[in-house]
Amino acid sequence: MSDTQSSVHKVVVIGSGPSGWTAAIYAARANLNPVVYVGVAKQDPGPILPGGQLMLTTDVENYPGFPDGIAGPEMMMKFEQQAKRFGTQVVGEDIVRCEFSSDGSPHTLHTSGGDTIQAHAVIISTGATANWLGLESEMKLATTGGGVSACAVCDGALPVFRNQPLCVVGGGDTAMEEATYLTNFASKVYVIHRRDELRASRVMQERFLGKPNAEVLWNKTVVECLSEPDASGGEKLSAVRLQDTVTGELSDLPVKGMFVAIGHTPATKFLLDTPLDFDEAGYIELKTRSSQTNIEGVFAAGDVADAKYRQAITAAGMGCQAAIDAEHWLGDRGLH
């Protein structure tokens, strides 16, 4: 290998959620000396944290291997520790711009710290962020485990929500799917929608409305999340304040959980001027079950390329795929 090649990273992982750390673990154990750019915390308008959406999840009960559950931030810390154990280098910066090569030469990446680095293989694991309402009270409870969540499948079965009145904000298929899921645990599930008709498909609407504990509140928006102190000294959601979009009238709806289901935005803004293929929603498009994108040596894993499942376990599995795909790709070219 030439001096020029030896100064190039074999693998750079962009992002630090379950997919990014899993990719790093597999790549490090394969002696690929991966470098993970974990990103920096920011508001956009909701919190975006290194470690991904699990950093906003207080209790993870559906990830295998943790029979008593585990806090999301603790899980991500363990992922990071495992990656570092095998020699992963961690950099607390964002990758802000990518120049992907099409001729087999290394890819060039620009960091938020002003550095320029090169890598033979790049694994994009930047995830997708939930779209929030943008209320201060909403963010406060979402970041402290106070009963506000953007994933019913992740959190809805927790003991704190069982046999309690809950609400889902939204009107599309995702909102209907999450609300229907919650009817299995909640005493009542309200769907709060700002218009007088839902955007969801007819079959999804009927599936929800056919549940005995389901109700839609039409022409309503959430303008505040009300809370009360809990036994641990924190704050828990007690009600949502609604405003009628027709009359302007305010009312309070007592609920113990609010699930925001108004979509997700893939973290691909910094990639939009590259030749990567995206689907119509902005997710990186993978045309096969492989993690290989349309650009040689560039791989994608986790929620940044998965608009359907958005689970920690599926993201981790995709991170494993990406590392193995990158290892094989490097080996085929004599770079490993």
Rounded CA separation 162/185 (Å): 5
Tell whether 188 and 280 lie within a shared domain. no
Catalytic residue (choose from 59, 98, 154, 167):
154
For residues 66 and 80, membership in a common domain is answered with: yes
Indicate yes or no: pTM above 0.75. Answer: yes
Q: Do 11 and 113 reside in the same domain of the chain?
A: yes
Q: Are residues 136 and 254 in the same domain?
A: yes
The pLDDT of residue 50: 84
Q: What is the pLDDT of residues 254-271, one digit of tens each?
A: 999 999 999 899 999 999
Torsions phi, psi for 215 (to 5 deg):
-155, 140
pLDDT at residue number 197:
95
Write down the pLDDT at residue 45: 60
Catalytic residue among 59, 155, 303, 306: 155
Active-site residue, 155 included: yes
* Residue ranges in the chain modelled with pLDDT below 50: 1-6
Q: Which of 260, 283, 316 is the last residue of a domain?
A: 260
CB-based contacts of 44, cutoff 8 Å, min separation 6: 129
User: How many domains, the chain?
Assistant: 2
Residues 159 and 272 in one domain: no
* Catalytically annotated residue among 59, 98, 151, 303: 151
288 and 250 in one domain? no
Based on the residue annotation, tell me whether 225 is a catalytic residue of this protein. Answer: no
Whether residue 202 sits in one domain with residue 102? no
Q: Are residues 52 and 116 in the same domain?
A: yes
Instruction: Give the CATH number for residue 193.
Output: 3.50.50.60
Q: Please tell me whether residues 244 and 277 are part of one structural domain.
A: no
Same domain for 109 and 62: yes
Task: State the sign of the Cα–Cα–Cα–Cα dihedral 140, 141, 144, 148.
Answer: negative
pLDDT at position 46: 63
167 noted as active-site residue: no
Query: What is the extent of the structural domain holding 229?
Result: 132-260
